Amino acid sequence: MKTFKQKLKTKGPKRILALDGGGIRGALTLGYLKHIEDYLRKQHKNPDLLLGDYFDLIGGTSTGSIIASALAIGLSVDEIKQKYFELGTKIFGRKYKWWRIFEIDDAFKAKYDHQALDSELKSVFGDITLGDTDHLKTGLCIVAKRADTNSVWTLLNHPDGKFFDSEHGNNSKIPIWKAVRASAAAPTYFLPQSIEVGGDMGYAAFVDGGVSMANNPALQLLMVSTMSGFPFKWEMGEDKILLTSVGTGMHQMKKLPKKIQKNHLLNWASEIPNMLMEDASWQNQTILQWISNSPTPQFIDRQTGDLRNDLLGFGQKKRDPLLHYLRYNVLLDVDDLNKRFNPEKPYTQKVVDDLAAMDNAKNCQKLYDLGYEAGSQEIKAKHFPSGFMID
């Protein structure tokens, strides 16, 4: 298969994989990815094909950046699943202990001890850096939020990137584990990550990329791959760009108006971040369906529908789709899950709320199974046209 350097020189259609943030719910993403990997192996008649071989750019936010980076270094979905389950148990297993004097200050800042996360990421990615062309099989984009400037950063391994190796920054020397740690530094869960970004910027402090419009990074990756300010500069078109976006489950809030009216300051403080992240994800989803003729249209709301009759295009024809867009995700809703999967033991609200938790590592297998079962229903051969096959 082609190396990343060879991919950069290759003409023709491009393939992008975007992976959402969502804590331990990334296990659900892996269930979908297993189906995608199996189908692509069958399509290419190659039982050893990896997603890192097929996609030209893989990117993710938070837990999505962990999976994206593992795919980019050439791991299979099964290999990542094993490591991910182990990682989840360890990083969400050790909380700061209030009675240990040296941890009291950190315990006021974060729920979990970041040392476990650091150690597990180092064990997976070792000393591989963003500039390591020998170990990275494809384009990689890790989305993080620079907290000291309140700006979204897309950490890229493209050698022509403005901040890859220049007077303004040297991202090529950033270890993959540290970039991923920055993207996954969810406020209240883990302490921020400081990184030496090089050039005239010195050090920067990062938090979870999900605290932005890019927890669902699909639209951000489309911008990275096509805008003139970024190094890829790929041409848009339905037969030129395939964008596959995979979620971690969407938890639907259901509260009676009377209960909302009783909310106090602490209630709002805990709920607002999730409310904003969900709004951002749906906004991205709406825009991407608006500029494509997606074969996987999601229902947005009762006014907008699924945009089957709406197309905003800027091609030679007024309504040319700008890309081939796929979105896979599960709605974590009691009625929807019971109707869709018809389980022997029906879901209850308590079970669904437990699955929606982003730090319950005991749910890894359940979430993976849910993503795998959803993938068996949703992923179709027509979603990956032969025009996007690799040589």
User: Catalytic amino acids?
Assistant: 62, 208
Return phi, psi of residue 83, to 5°: -70, -40
**Residue 265 to residues 8, 62, 257, 268, 380, Cα–Cα distance (Å):** 51, 27, 17, 5, 46
Residues 161, 171: contact at Cβ < 8 Å?
yes
Give 33: exposed, middle or buried? Use CB within 10 Å, 0-12, 13-18, 19+: buried
Please identify which residue in the block is written with the tokens 């607002």. Answer: 272
Mutual angle of helices 26-44 and 364-378, in 10-degree steps: 40
Tell me, rounded to whole angstroms, the distance of Cα 102 from its chain centroid: 34
Residue 371 backbone zone (phi > 0: left; psi -120 to 50: alpha; other: beta) = alpha
* C-alpha span between 384 and 336 (Å, rounded): 26
User: What is the number of residues in the chain?
Assistant: 391
> What count of Cα atoms within 13 Å lies in the side-chain half-sphere of residue 112?
23
Cβ count within 10 A of residue 372: 17
How would you class 274 by CB atoms within 10 Å of its CB: exposed for 0-12, middle for 13-18, buried for 19 or more? Answer: middle
- CA 172 to the chain's CA centroid: 21
